[in-house]
A and B are shown apart, each in its own frame.
Chain A
Amino acid sequence: MIRVLTFALTLALLLAGSTVDVPAQSEATPIKIGYAISRTGPFAPGAQVTQEPNYLLWAEQVNAAGGLSVKGQKRKIELISSDDRSDVETIVRTYEKLMTVDKVDLILPPWGSTANFAVAPLANKNGYPVLAPTALSMKLVDMKLPYFFSMLPQPYVLMQAAADMLAAQGVKTVAVIYMDDLFGLENIAAFEPAVKAKGIEIVDKKSYPLGVKDLSPVLRAIKEKNPDAFVGLTYPPDTILASKQAKEISFNPRVLHRGRYRLPALQERDGRRLRRGVGHRLVEREDEPGRARLLRRAREEVPEGARPLGERPLLGRPADPPGGHREGRRRPQGDPRVHRGGRACHDPRPAALQGLGGAVPRHRQPVDRRRLRGGVAGRPRDRADARAEARVEITR
């Protein structure tokens, strides 16, 4: 047993020693930004489709432009990342390390509500802002943590907009499937009263578990009831599955409303047989700095599997109708406008963080961080909610 102890202590010391070799640099020190994200385990597909590529792309772009501007000085971004194995304890531990040992300048959040629940109080304790793009829960917002900012419109806003949209399309009946977790449950809880208020009848409502492989029995049952609209409150893999299987069984309602993601893989799969595919996304300001550049770069960053088909925008969605765009362009500058983008763009973080450029703490002085919070406070929670309306786009 004593040997066990010695051995463990040695290893612990080795580990401790290995984490402190931060090279000192003479010129502008890079801004260290740390995060943990699922690269393996059940959260990996979601995290890797909707979150981590954005971080990498953002850092690459900002660095190519010389870095973040901090009080007039350009500083490069240095990302410190690791895999969280989809394990909550690992997430907690990693963020503890990032914030208390590595003392990174900023953190980026992990993927998913569960993970953000675990990280938010921790970050709050250490005074790091968390700008979460993939945490959706009123419970999290209700905890009223001053350093937590949800970037997603919360269920109430989102579902209200969805109901408005359905009503505008003249939908009378709707069938809905939702994910068996907080995301799905909170959304469905907000969805039901929202559509009922519009006089829309829910003809079918089914839930499904994480990692579902076959939704066709459910879709068949829904098809029999022939609703005007089908709404999927789903995660990325299931969004693809549901869209695909709906096509397979020729279930083709007037409005098909899926999840909240723009997915490259979905565009490869989605034929043009869906009469109407609708997704909701965040609304962004047209004049957001760096937006055009980001879009351009994102277009280059297309996965090998997705081949351009003529003018079909790879990062918009299949056959984004020219009409939709034109409509957007006619709007006066500064008006809320759909943030068109895919893989890298539906997450507004890059732009949001760029907006913070001036307020990034110089070298993790507590005063600076407080100032940063002040800088952020104008944007986030409440405004994000108010600002975010899901805007409807209709493909043929």
Chain B
Amino acid sequence: MGLNLQYGLMRILNVSHGEFLMLGAYLTYWAHLVTGASPFVLLPAVLAVLFALGLVVHHLCFRRLADTTPEVEAFEAKSLLVGFGLMFLVQNAALLIWGADLRGYQYLARTVSIAGFDLAANRLAAFAGALVLSLGLILLLRATLIGKAVRAMMQSPTGARLVGIDVSRMHPAVFGVGLALAGVAGGLLSMVYEISPSMGEPYTVTALIVITLGGLGSVSGSLLGGLLLGIVEAVGMHLTSPSLKMVLSYGVFMAVLITRPNGLFAR
């Protein structure tokens, strides 16, 4: 979701997205251990930290890149490289600070029974958190003036500039929001899973697939894409075996893109 926003807006294909997710997870883990507070209370702090980090990263890397490379395609290629650089950096930093083994804490690890299904409370809470966040973002984009500005920039950067939107201030902010979302997602995940510095990459891959499935640059598309992939995986796993699940979900992904080259929900 956050990744899609970044890409849609600025053509930054951030391959280090998962690393920021990992960072968010570690921050939550660490703050939870130190303060003992509920991870939910800590999430806004994580959000703020990663937003600030996003501004810094954008300022240091992508602003200069955007200045020196005007053409879109070259910019995409280069932002890919910068993403790799960031990936190495962040991963190594986490490795140094927290060590490479698995970490975890226990939060809401009791079982809740809903309509005959037993679900773990922390899973439920994480899911609810993610849903609230996504809906909040959609609402923000649809209903507010800022959202309108962001959408305008996605459609036409030059046009947006013409009607007086301050593109140079919006870009870092949106990049920051992207990272902040990744961070919060990481925080939510840390409630459910064990975390390690190498946890980010699979999420980057999944995120890329989901947004591509939903159509790049479309926020609600990525929400639906995510749901679709989730359903395919769950059903596939139930009907066959988890090993075949991956074949199935990649197969669906390829089939969708081959037939609908601009994503499932392209206009």
Contacts of B241 in A (CB 8 A): 206-208, 218
B105 touches A44 (CB 8 A): no
A45 touches B198 (CB 8 A): yes
Known contacts being A39-B95, A48-B196, A213-B193, is A305 close to B104, with CB within 8 Å? yes
- What 1/0 mask marks residues of chain A from 293 to 305 whose CB sits below 8 Å from any chain B CB? 0000000000111
A residues with a Cβ closer than 8 A to B are: 39-42, 44-45, 47-49, 52-53, 180, 206-209, 211-215, 217-218, 221, 236-237, 240-241, 244-245, 247-250, 263-265, 268-269, 271, 303-305
When chains A and B are docked, how far (Å) is the Cα of A268 from the Cα of B104?
Answer: 8
B106 touches A268 (CB 8 A): yes
Interface status of B118 (Cβ within 8 A of chain A)? yes
Contact of B242 among A212, A236, A268 (CB under 8 A): A212
- What 1/0 mask marks residues of chain B from 197 to 241 whose CB sits below 8 Å from any chain A CB? 111011000000000000000000000000000000110011001
Within the complex, the shortest CB–CB distance from A232 to chain B, in Å, comes to 13
Interface status of B243 (Cβ within 8 A of chain A)? yes
Interface status of B119 (Cβ within 8 A of chain A)? yes
Contacts of B123 in A (CB 8 A): 248
Within the complex, the shortest CB–CB distance from B249 to chain A, in Å, comes to 11
Interface size class of B (residues with CB under 8 A): 35 or more
Contact of A249 among B92, B118, B193, B237 (CB under 8 A): B118
Interface status of B128 (Cβ within 8 A of chain A)? no
When chains A and B are docked, how far (Å) is the Cα of A265 from the Cα of B194?
Answer: 8
The residue of chain A having its C-beta at the shortest distance from the C-beta of B30 within the complex is A304
Known contacts being A41-B198, A44-B197, A217-B237, is A49 close to B104, with CB within 8 Å? no
Contacts of B132 in A (CB 8 A): none
A40 touches B91 (CB 8 A): yes
Contacts of B105 in A (CB 8 A): 268, 305
Known contacts being A206-B242, A218-B237, A248-B118, is A42 close to B103, with CB within 8 Å? no
B109 touches A271 (CB 8 A): yes
When chains A and B are docked, how far (Å) is the Cα of A212 from the Cα of B111?
Answer: 22
Within the complex, the shortest CB–CB distance from A373 to chain B, in Å, comes to 33
A240 touches B194 (CB 8 A): yes
Contact of B196 among A44, A218, A303 (CB under 8 A): A44
Contact of A237 among B100, B194, B238 (CB under 8 A): B194
Known contacts being A180-B243, A305-B33, is A250 close to B111, with CB within 8 Å? yes
Contact of A250 among B101, B104, B118 (CB under 8 A): B118
Within the complex, the shortest CB–CB distance from A284 to chain B, in Å, comes to 23
A248 touches B102 (CB 8 A): no
Contacts of A207 in B (CB 8 A): 241-243
Within the complex, the shortest CB–CB distance from B236 to chain A, in Å, comes to 9
Within the complex, the shortest CB–CB distance from B67 to chain A, in Å, comes to 29
A209 touches B246 (CB 8 A): yes
Contacts of A265 in B (CB 8 A): 101-104, 194
- What 1/0 mask marks residues of chain B from 105 to 139 whose CB sits below 8 Å from any chain A CB? 11001010000001110010000000000000000
When chains A and B are docked, how far (Å) is the Cα of A218 from the Cα of B238?
Answer: 7
Interface status of B251 (Cβ within 8 A of chain A)? no
Known contacts being A39-B95, A237-B194, A269-B106, is A45 close to B242, with CB within 8 Å? no
